[in-house]
Amino acid sequence: MKGLADYFFSKGSFWDTIGMFYQSAVFIYGTTLLMAYALLAIMSLISIRRYMKKNASIDYNIIVESPLAPGISVIAPAYNEGITIISNVRSLLTFNYPKFEVIIINDGSTDDTLEKLVTEFELVHVDYAFREKLNSEPIKRIFKSTNRAYDKLIVVDKVNGKSKADASNAGINISSYEYFLCTDVDCILDKDTLIKLIKPFMDEETTKIKEVGEPCVECGYVHIQEDNRKVIATGATLRMVNSCEVDEGLMIRVRPPQRLLPRFQEMEYIRAFVLGKMGWDLINAVPNVSGGLGMFDKEIAVKAGGYDSKSFGEDMDLITRMCCFMKDNKRKYSVKYVPVTLCWTEGPTTLKVFGRQRSRWGRGIAQIMSIHRKVIFNPRYGRLGLIVFPYNFLFELLAPMIEFTGILFYIYLILTRQINWPFAIILVIFVYTYSVMITTLALLWDQITFKYYKTWGETIGLCLMAFIEPFIYHPLIVFFAIKGYFNFITGRQHTWGNMQRQGFGMQKKKSTANAG
Amino acid sequence: MANILVIEDDDIMLKAIRNILGKDGYNLITAKDGKEAFEKLDGGEYDVVVTDLMMPYANGLEVVSRLRSDETKRNVGIIVISSVGNEETITEAFRLGADDYLKKPIMAGELLIRIRKLLANKNSKSQLVTKKK
Amino acid sequence: MWKDLADLLFQAYEQFSLLPLFIEIALAFIFIAILSTLIAYSAILYRRYKGYVYDKRLAFISPKIEDLITEQVLLNPNLGKDLPIEDIEFDQEALNDKIYRKPFVRQMMIDTLIQYRKNFRGEVGELLRKLYIDMGLEKDSFAKMKTLRWERKIKAVVELTQMDISISDVTILPLTNSGNPALRAAARNAYIQLSKNEPFKFFDIATEPLLPWDQLEMFKIITTTKDIAIPNFSRWVSYSTNKSIVSFCLKLIAHYDQQSAIPAVMDLLANKDHYYRADAINCLGKLSAEVAEEKLVKIYNNQPLNCQIEILKALGRIASGKQLEFLKSEFLYSSNFDIRMNAARSIIKHNTQNSRMMVEELMEMTHEENQLIIKHCLNPLIKY
């Protein structure tokens, strides 16, 4: 500590001390953050290797032939997806799984999404009785196919609720199985998605119980409740579909995006999923199951209140509430991640759409931290209160702000000529090399599970993005996150941005051209 | 010689079936997913179709349903081969009009016999039709 | 020269130690970060190179293996002649090819054979097994059994099980209670399939739970292994203290329609665990246990919702017709949607003159939501 102390007291003035204090605080904060990343990298490596070892000799097909396979409802909201709806629904119907239904929620589309579905799948309107367990805008009609080949399909026509949460809730109300998979209709899913995501649910014992209280006066039984660690949700890695070859909703060839913005996102997603989620998975502290792909235990999700249509981060909000529900009822739970990519989604290609998405995310996390503030540092909520929330608060929510003020401080130092250039440069190099290392490690771990990219050029090409990320991509993220916080504080109305789809129709042509 | 369309997305199984049926000298056409299957179905005439259930693009039940709803292809014999063993799926396949359902692992001899039977039935039926005329 | 270098290093260290602590830390991390990044890059490239080599070998070898299996097994001229499988000989020259001595190729051969076995049983399946033995591949699998790494052990157990090669009880029984869930599951499956005298012995001694995924595997093995003596599973329903075994046995009882187990299953209705009771009620329904009907209706009012719904379902499956009035009153007067839904479905499931008349009658007398429920249940397009 000699160095630090020297540094502190060598300069005299009060403001200098404050400045130094700030600088040291930021340094300690930064170092802790970087340490946390290093720890996550190690944890995720362990967790990925464990997954690979455990699953090497597992025959996943066994569930396909088994009459004991649990049922899964696939819920996919669609809003103005007329261009791609048919092929995407077709691909959802071809999952490798024996017992599932596909619920497409037409969320008040203004184009021909519904008409297309009706003609293609020979749909008729049916009288469908269901209980409204979760709030959503009213459902107008429900359709089923007269062709038995499509008897897994249910199409729900509903009044637009301006959010994915609202549409998903309607889907959950209709669903009849005990698990549900939430996705977007335009996501490209692997055909083994259901098998891979249901597996963690089936790896926990389900027969342990504990007794609660005295025998009940009414029924004479002692009340009992499940005492096993219940898996309440599972998720998997997402990637960008932008430059992949897709044919009628089927992934033909995976390729990292060629355009700069989605390419950065691919790298960021791999880092967030492979390094982040898998790392947290090891200590059972997964903070979130992404909205693009996640499987949930319906009972718990419904009891926790389903999706909140007012939330800007409805996916994380749901997981948080499900975890809180389990903790409030003194039950053990876990949220699991599998390190394989099962879902490809379209990343925004223009700065405008990207900015809107990220501001929304920023606003979402601020909102969650404020709604669930009772959780943070609350030992009653176990890992959720002592690990997940503090981490997210300190290093997800505060990071952009601290970075932003840090930059302002630096500018101030430069302007007042107080800066110690050699030290400043060393610090910048430190942060830079470290961030490159973390990203590169994430990409390396990703290679362990599966060789997604065909050529080494593609792989290295993506790795090299780590070198320019801190200059181009990172500032954007910080800027949009802060914009999101600003919106949160000022409570500005946010119009639910329906992402402009490029439409896979174009890619389809491309791929057939390649094939021919 | 009888034309048989084999639809199966597993390479190993597709090759194996081709080899086994080839012994009996049938004229074999193969498709490795739903899309290819529909193309081949539209572009040719078949006496028997052997199909898997879970495949990319379209599942086997769609293949069955399409064959049965098409006037000209109504008489095509259909054998479903799948690892799916739950009762619902099997009855569904029969309801849609499959003639046979073989659960994997299959017996090669059984497949051959069933195909021969379907072909024999078909011939006797068409003979009946011509006689009536 | 070495001295110069040492001096230099020492001077550097001295300079370094004069720096403020946080700069020292930063410098150290810069060094670590650069080093790790370089290592990571080499690792990525190395993995890709290895993957490339593997793919190439695979592309070279797998057609050879497939040709061998096609020629020796699928197109074997002696198939279909009612010859005992043991008497069918392979072309030794093809089997003795040098290429099949390499460990990599042998492993691929095993994997491919297993793939084929998953698709074919009967004569072809038996012949695949014979090829596995004749090529001495079982020795490879047994060698893997002896390693200490659990994932290799699992692989060995799975291979031997798939190929139906018996493993001695001494080797396999201790593994059935292993602390490693994956190894435990593989060993149990192997034991059931391969132990010809008492395949279910470990049900008695199993202390570790049977996870849902293990149940899938075990269910498959029990229902597909031929010549397996199916015991009366009610034995474990009555005596086992391992709850997961009991609930698994309930599923097997339903699957094999073991009517003699009904009394034992009915005993479970007094169990305090309502998840358990629900399983038992479900099993009774699937057995169409008419004797249990009265008891189920009698306990109905004391049950939590999940058991009530199971009882309604069971009454629909038993469908004796005696409880139609009960179902009707539940349908009309329950305030719970799921109860009404299941009551309606069970009435319709009876599908008798009486039940059809009842449905018509209900349709006229009940309110709109209940009518919707009936329409829903009557619609053949809707499954649930």
- Token pair, residue A198, equals 């249901």
What is the chain A residue with the closest CA to C380? A146
Report the chain C residue with the minimal C-alpha distance to residue B24.
C75
| Residue C74 to residue B19, Cβ atoms within 8 A | yes
The answer on pLDDT for A507 being more than 60 is: no
Whole-number pLDDT of residue A4: 45
DSSP code of residue A384: I
R_g of chain B computed on alpha carbons? 14
B84 lies within 8 A of chain C by CB: no
The whole-chain average pLDDT of chain C stands at 90
Residue C54 touches partner A, C-beta closer than 8 Å: no
Q: Where are the beta strands (DSSP E) in A291-424?
A: 293-297, 333-345
Confidence (pLDDT) at A224: 67
Q: Which residue has the higher pLDDT, A67 or B127?
A: A67
Report CB contact under 8 Å: C338, A207.
no
| Bridge partners, A125 (sequence order) | A143
Q: What is the ipTM of this complex?
A: 0.90
Q: How sure is the predictor about A59, in pLDDT bands with cuts at 50, 70 and 90?
A: confident
Using the 8-state DSSP alphabet, how is residue A393 labeled? I
Domains of chain B: 3-132 (3.40.50.2300)
Q: Is the dihedral of CA A240, A175, B80, B108 positive or negative?
A: positive
Q: What is the pTM of this model?
A: 0.90
- Interface probe for C, chosen from B8, B10, B20 (most Cβ of C below 10 Å), is B20
The answer to whether residue A13 scores a pLDDT higher than 80 is no
Please indicate whether residue C319 or residue A208 has the higher confidence score (pLDDT).
Answer: C319
Return the higher-pLDDT residue of C2 and C38.
Answer: C38
C189 in Cβ contact with C218 (< 8 Å): yes
For residues C332-344, give the mean pLDDT. 94
How far apart, in Å, do the first and last CA atoms of chain C sit? 85
Q: Which residue has the higher pLDDT, A108 or A22?
A: A108
C42 vs A: CB within 8 A: no
Residue B70 in 3-state DSSP? coil
In this prediction, residue A16 has a pLDDT band, given cuts at 50, 70 and 90, of confident
- pLDDT (average), residues C279-307: 93
When computed from its CA atoms, the radius of gyration of chain C, rounded to whole angstroms, is: 32
Verify whether the Cβ–Cβ distance C219 to A68 is below 8 Å: yes
The answer for A198, left when phi > 0, alpha when psi is -120 to 50, beta otherwise, is: alpha
Closest residue to C40, CB basis, from A63, A205, A441: A441
Instruction: Flag whether pLDDT at A9 surpasses 70.
Output: no
Whether the bond into C103 is cis, omega within 30 of 0: no
Which stretches does DSSP call E strand in A286-331?
293-297
Q: Which pLDDT score, from 0 to 100, does residue A299 have?
A: 94
Q: Is 70 exceeded by the pLDDT of residue A102?
A: yes
What are B100's strand-pairing partners? B79
Residue C43's pLDDT is: 93
* Cβ–Cβ under 8 Å, residues C250 and C234: no
Q: CB under 8 Å to A11, separation ≥6 — which residues?
A: A17, A20
Separation of alpha carbons C337 and A270, rounded Å: 44
- Does position C44 have pLDDT exceeding 60, yes or no? yes
- In the numeric block, which tokens belong to residue A501? 């789809």
Beta strand extents in chain C (DSSP E only): 120-121
Report the first-to-last Cα separation within chain A, whole angstroms.
68
Q: Is the pLDDT of residue B48 over 60?
A: yes
pLDDT in tens, C45-68: 999 999 999 999 999 999 999 999
Position with higher pLDDT, A495 vs A406: A406
Per-residue pLDDT, A175: 95
pLDDT at C384: 77
Going by the DSSP 8-state scheme, the letter that residue C147 receives in this structure is S
Q: Are C202 and C176 in contact (CB under 8 A)?
A: yes
pLDDT for A206 equals 66
Query: Of A25-29, A145-149, A165-169, which range is least confident?
Result: A25-29
Q: Which tokens is C14 given?
A: 């001295």
C-alpha to C-alpha distances, A210 to A217, B20, C275, nearest whole angstrom: 19, 57, 12
CB B8 within 8 A of CB B52: yes
Q: What is the pLDDT of residue A495?
A: 47
pLDDT of C140-150, one tens digit each? 999 998 888 88
Indicate the helix (H) or strand (E) that contains B100: strand B100-103
Own/partner long-range contacts of B104-107 (Cβ < 8 Å, ≥24 apart): B104/A65, B104/B13, B104/C118, B104/C119, B105/C117, B105/C118, B105/C119, B105/C120, B105/C121, B105/C125, B106/B81, B106/C119, B106/C120, B106/C121, B106/C122, B107/C120, B107/C121, B107/C122, B107/C123, B107/C124, B107/C125
pLDDT digits (tens, 9 = 90+) for C215-231: 999 998 888 887 788 88
Asked if A54 lies within 8 A of C182 by C-beta distance, the reply is yes
pLDDT of residue A1: 39
Nearest CB partner across the interface for A128, out of C26, C32, C376 = C376
pLDDT higher than 70, residue A129: yes
CB atoms inside a 10 Å sphere around CB A476: 15
Min CA distance, C26 vs chain A (Å)?
A: 6
Work out the pLDDT band at A297, boundaries 50, 70, 90.
very high
Confidence of residue A509 (pLDDT cuts 50, 70, 90): very low
pLDDT for residue A211 is more than 80: no
Residue A508 has pLDDT above 80, yes or no: no
The model's confidence at residue A319, banded by pLDDT at 50, 70 and 90, is very high
For residue B120, count other CB atoms closer than 10 A to its CB.
10
Task: Decide if pLDDT at A340 tops 90.
Answer: yes
pLDDT of A442 higher than 90: yes
C101 or B132: which leads in pLDDT: C101
User: CB contacts < 8 Å between A and C, how many?
Assistant: 189
How distant is the Cα of A62 from the closest Cα of chain C, in angstroms? 7
Distances (CA, A) of C269 to A408, C111, C156, C275: 71, 47, 42, 11
Lowest mean pLDDT among A89-98, A145-154, A413-422: A413-422
* Residue found by looking up tokens 């810069």 in the block: C30
pLDDT at B129 over 70: no
* Model confidence pLDDT, tens digit, residues B4-13: 999 999 888 9
The DSSP 8-state label assigned to residue A388 in this structure reads I
pLDDT digits (tens, 9 = 90+) for C158-211: 999 999 898 888 888 888 888 888 888 899 889 888 877 778 887 887 777 888
pLDDT at residue A473 is higher than 60: yes
Mean pLDDT of A101-105: 96
β partners of residue A72: A100, A179
